[in-house]
Amino acid sequence: MTAERPSLRFQTAPADPADKWEFDDKPREECGVFGVFGSEDASVLTALGLHGLQHRGQEGCGIVSYDGRFHHERYLGLVGDHFSGADMPKRLPGNSAIGHTRYATSGGTILRNVQPLFADLALGGFALAHNGNLTNARDLRERLVEGGAIFQSTSDTECILQLIAKSRKGKVVDRFVEALHQIQGAYALICLTTNMMIAARDPIGIRPLVLGDRDGAPILASETCALDMIGAKFVRSVEPGEVVVISRVNGKAHIESHFPFPRREARPCIFEFVYFARPDSVIDGRSVYAIRKRMGRMLAQETGVEADVVVPVPDSGVPAAMGFAAASGIPYELGIIRNHYVGRTFIQPKQEIRALGVRLKHSANRDVIAGKRVVLVDDSIVRGTTSQKIVQMVREAGAKEVHFRSASPPIKHPDFYGIDMPSVDQLMAAQMTLEEMRKSLGVESLGFLSVDGLYAAMGEEKRNVGNPQFTDHAFTGEYPTPLLDHSTDRSSRDYQLSLLAEEAAE
C-alpha cells in the first residue's frame, strides 16, 4: 500500500505547541462512553452523564439518539457548551441514546474522529462509541482498505465499524461478535442499533464499564460518577469479555449477557486509580478516593521525611497528600492555589515571561511556605517539566527545603491501550536515575511509591508475578496483550497521526 494521505488543515490554525504554556504534565485518558436505553429524554440524560465523564476527555463530544430515525450531533469542545438547552429533546429525540467524550491524541482535534461513529449498514443504522485503543488497528485497516473499504475517519475505532459492515452474518449481534474476534487491545464499547443497545468490555477488562439503572431504564457508563450524575443506581460492573445486549421485550428493557471469549482473569488498568478516574467513582468494587488516600499513606511509610508541611499539587495530588499527612503527622496545608479560570489559549511571547507560565494555573501560597520544609505530593511524574516549575515556584516563595513525593511508581514505559502518554524518550523516569531526577527537579529529596506499595494500596497482598492483577506496564513494562502494530518502535499514536486528514468546516 502506497498510502498518499491528505495533510491536516484547520480553519483556525492551532497554536504552535512550542509557544504553548504547559499547564499539565499528565497522561491523558482518551475517552468516556455513556448510554441510556428506554427512557424519556434519553439524550438529556446522556448529556448529563457525559458531563460527569468530562474529565475523561474535553476536546470533543457527541451523542446519537434514536426515535425511529437516528439523530447525530458531534462537536469539538465541552459537553455543556453544546449539549444543553431546552431544545435538546427536540434536537436529539428518542428513548435511546449513546454518547462519547474524547481527548484528542494529537496537537489538533478533528471533528470527523469525534464519536459516536455512525454507519448506514445494510442491516440498518449503527452507532458506536469506544473507550480504549486497538493494538492491531493498523493491520486491520490495511486489510480492509485492500478489500475496498473507504475510511471516513483516522481512528482505530472505525475498523470495528468496517468489520461489522463487511460481515456476512445475518444478525447485528453476530456481526458485532465476529468483529470483536478480530480486534485486539483495550475497549469498552457502547453501540446503538434500531432496536438494541449493545456493550462490550475487552477480555481482560482494561478499560472500565458499569451498568446502572434509572427507573427501569438500563444505563451504561465508563464510571459510576456518571450514574450519580443522573441519579441512577449502580447495578454492577460489566465483566471483562462480556457482551451485554439490551433490547425491549414485552415493553420492558431486557438485558442479555454473552461471553464470546474464553474466560480470562481480569486485569484492569491501574492508572484509572492512580490518576484518571474521578475520586468519587467506584471501579470494579474499589473506591478511587479511598485508594488514593491509601497511596499517600503507603508513600509516607515508604518515603517518610522530616518536614513542616505537606502540600498537595492540586488537584490530582490532594487525596494522596491527605493520606501522607495523616500517616506522617505533618500538617496538611494548601500551599499551592489553583486558578480555575485558565482558558485554553493563554500563549505568551517571550522566554523571560514564559518562565512565569506555571503560575497561570498554580500559585504559591507564600504565607504557608515561606521558611518551611515542604513535602510536595503529586499523583505521578511523567515528563517532570511541570514538577520542575512548581518546585521552583515553591522555592521562590521561600521554602527552606522541598521534598517531592510521587504517589505512584516511576513511569518508564509507554501505553497502547488508550492512554495518551509521551514517548519513552520524554518519560523522566525512563531516562534518568533517581538521583538524576532529584537534581533535575531541584529538590532535597525525591521519593516514589513502590509497585508493591501501590498494590498494597489497592488492597492486594502483593503483585502476582507472571500474572499480575492489574494492567500496570507503565510501571513494570509487562504488557497484558501482544502488540502487533508495535513491533517497530512507533506507537499507535504515531500511526494515527500519519493518517490525519481533515477539511475545515463552516
Q: Which residues are catalytic?
A: 31
Q: Which three cell numbers stand for residue 99?
A: 454518547
d(CA 9, CA 194): 35
- Whole-number minimum distance, CB 346 to a second copy, in Å? 4
Among the listed ranges 38-46, 260-268, 303-311, 400-408, the one in contact with a second copy (CB under 8 A) is: 38-46
d(CA 446, CA 432): 13
- Whole-number minimum distance, CB 454 to a second copy, in Å? 19
DSSP string, 328-345: H-PPB---EEEPTT--S-
User: Which of 22, 166, 258, 430 is close enough to bind a second copy by CB under 8 A?
Assistant: 166
In a 3-state reduction of DSSP, which class is residue 287?
strand
CB nearer a second copy, residue 146 or residue 489: 146
467 binds a second copy (CB under 8 A): no
User: Which of 340, 461, 487, 488 is close enough to bind a second copy by CB under 8 A?
Assistant: 340
User: Which of 368, 376, 441, 474 is close enough to bind a second copy by CB under 8 A?
Assistant: 368
User: Which of 107, 263, 346, 439 is close enough to bind a second copy by CB under 8 A?
Assistant: 346
Strand partners, 34: 99, 221
User: Which of 34, 176, 187, 289 is close enough to bind a second copy by CB under 8 A?
Assistant: 289
Greatest C-alpha distance within the chain? 73
367 binds a second copy (CB under 8 A): yes
Beta strand 96-102 with 309-312: parallel, antiparallel or unpaired?
Answer: unpaired
24 binds a second copy (CB under 8 A): no
CB nearer a second copy, residue 175 or residue 486: 175
On whether the CB atoms of residues 75 and 61 are closer than 8 A, the answer is yes
On whether the CB atoms of residues 26 and 419 are closer than 8 A, the answer is no
- SS3 letters across 414-449: CCCCCEECCCHHHCHHHHCCHHHHHHHHCCCEEEEC
3 binds a second copy (CB under 8 A): yes
- Footprint of a second copy on residues 115-144 (CB under 8 A)? 118-125
CB nearer a second copy, residue 8 or residue 424: 8
User: Which of 42, 45, 159, 274 is close enough to bind a second copy by CB under 8 A?
Assistant: 45
265 binds a second copy (CB under 8 A): no
146 binds a second copy (CB under 8 A): yes
309 binds a second copy (CB under 8 A): no
- Distance of CA 214 to CAs 45, 287, 430, Å? 10, 22, 46
Residue 10: CB atoms within 10 A of its CB come to: 15
277 binds a second copy (CB under 8 A): no
Among the listed ranges 46-54, 236-244, 371-379, 462-470, the one in contact with a second copy (CB under 8 A) is: 46-54
